[in-house]
Amino acid sequence: MRKEAYLYRKLKKDYVQCLECEHYCAIPPGGKGRCGVKRNIGGKLMLVVYGRPVAVHVDPVEKKPLFHFLPGGGVFSIGTFGCNFTCKFCQNWEISQVRDFDDQRDYIGEDWPPEKIVDYCRRRSIPMIAYTYNEPVVFFEYAYDTAKLAHQYGIRNIFVSSGFETEQAIDMIEPYLDAANIDLKSFSDRFYREISGARLKPVLRNIEYMVKKTRIWVEVTTLFIPGLNDSPEEMRDIAQFLVGISPDLPWHVSAFYPTYLMTDRPPTPPETLLRAYEIGKEAGLHYVYVGNILSPEHEATYCPHCGAPVIKRFGYHTQVLWREPGVCPVCGHRLAGVWE
């Protein structure tokens, strides 16, 4: 379904400029933005996948991953075609990298208007909705309408994002957005340009902005790729950047698996993630977690005050050890997060 974009402006000669992500695409009549799903149709910027997700699943919130946000809770999760990034290692490339389709004729997804999603969640008592799999800002209108409606019924909203939104887009959805996992793919602008078709700076700005200036709960994920972004120096740069924003900002260090256009290297060895884990902790981050490998010791949440385990995890299974949500059972320290 088509829906006129919420954030764009009209330029000369029927061009339009999208104001939702940092590409600020200027799109000629009949053209499309870099995401492929915002298109200039008759001088208006239209989202063409509104209400039409191609991925629909109910996942545990730990899979997003969010470890400090309603642990163990279920999340209705949707994603559409299209993305503003072109990561060569994208794990969801089969949907995210689809841009060339005829929205009037081709299959563009199942029929899930916002009302149907919220109704489904209410009937099954699903407490959260995630906009994920591809980049949610590319289907901003759909995410915004769903999130706004969901809030009327106390359902929380999550973005799993590469963090390339404009501040304007963040500000607009902020009242309805409760949590975000932001990918920080590298600390190198060159990596962002060459591997992902984007830029580093806006991502750094957005992480800091969301943590410091909004009520959105934020966690950060970095996928380490052998030979590309896995040097101890780069790990340290990322960890120091994050700790500078807040030592309570959880950092998920995750394993790469060969896929899509990046099949020329092996999966990330577990030792790489354990090194990142140590570097993150040494830098002063209170919460570092390994992902995409099984290591319960490095997936547990420990009290930053006394070191006692507070939440244990095994894969997506979660066991809380507290008596009161978010409170260390040993020393009474309150852990950062949204626990109920």
Q: Other CB atoms closer than 10 Å to residue 26's CB: what's the count?
A: 14
Binding mask 64-93 vs Zn ion (x if CB under 5 A, - otherwise)?
------------------------------
Nearer to Zn ion, 245 or 330 (CB): 330
Nearer to Zn ion, 174 or 248 (CB): 248
Nearer to Zn ion, 243 or 328 (CB): 328
Count of helices and strands (H, E) across the chain: 8, 17
Range 65-104 burial, b when 16+ CB lie within 10 A, else e: bbbbbbbeebbbbbbbbbbbbbbbbbebbebbbbbebebe
Among 265, 306, 315, 317, binds Zn ion (CB under 5 A): 306
- Whole-number minimum distance, CB 243 to Zn ion, in Å? 20
How far apart are the C-alpha atoms of 91 and 197, rounded to whole Å? 16
Nearer to Zn ion, 247 or 270 (CB): 247
How far apart are the C-alpha atoms of 56 and 112, rounded to whole Å? 9
Give the tokens for residue 119: 């109704």
- Whole-number minimum distance, CB 326 to Zn ion, in Å? 11
* Positions in 264-303 near Zn ion (CB under 5 A): 303
Nearer to Zn ion, 49 or 310 (CB): 310
Encoded amino acid at 209, one letter: Y
CA torsion sign for 293, 295, 298, 300 is positive
Nearer to Zn ion, 294 or 306 (CB): 306
Among 305, 309, 327, 338, binds Zn ion (CB under 5 A): 305
- Whole-number minimum distance, CB 118 to Zn ion, in Å? 38
How far apart are the C-alpha atoms of 91 and 267, rounded to whole Å? 13
Residues in binding contact with Zn ion, number by CB under 5 A: 8
Using DSSP, state whether 311 is helix, strand or coil.
strand
Taking phi first (over 0 means left), then psi (-120 to 50 degrees means alpha), and beta for anything else, what does residue 122 get? alpha
Report whether 22 contacts 164 (CB < 8 A). Answer: yes
- Whole-number minimum distance, CB 334 to Zn ion, in Å? 10
- Whole-number minimum distance, CB 155 to Zn ion, in Å? 32
- Whole-number minimum distance, CB 67 to Zn ion, in Å? 17
- Whole-number minimum distance, CB 282 to Zn ion, in Å? 20
* Positions in 123-152 near Zn ion (CB under 5 A): none
Nearer to Zn ion, 294 or 331 (CB): 331
Those residues whose C-beta lies under 8 Å from the C-beta of residue 33, and which sit 6 or more positions away, are 18, 23, 25, 27, 39, 84
- Whole-number minimum distance, CB 323 to Zn ion, in Å? 12
How far apart are the C-alpha atoms of 307 and 319, rounded to whole Å? 17
How wide is the angle at C-alpha 219 spanned by C-alphas 217 and 221, nearest 5°?
160
Nearer to Zn ion, 293 or 308 (CB): 308
* Positions in 311-340 near Zn ion (CB under 5 A): 328, 330-331, 333
**Which DSSP symbol is given to 312?**
E
Nearer to Zn ion, 97 or 301 (CB): 301
- Whole-number minimum distance, CB 311 to Zn ion, in Å? 12
Give the residues lining the site for Zn ion (CB under 5 A). Answer: 303, 305-306, 308, 328, 330-331, 333
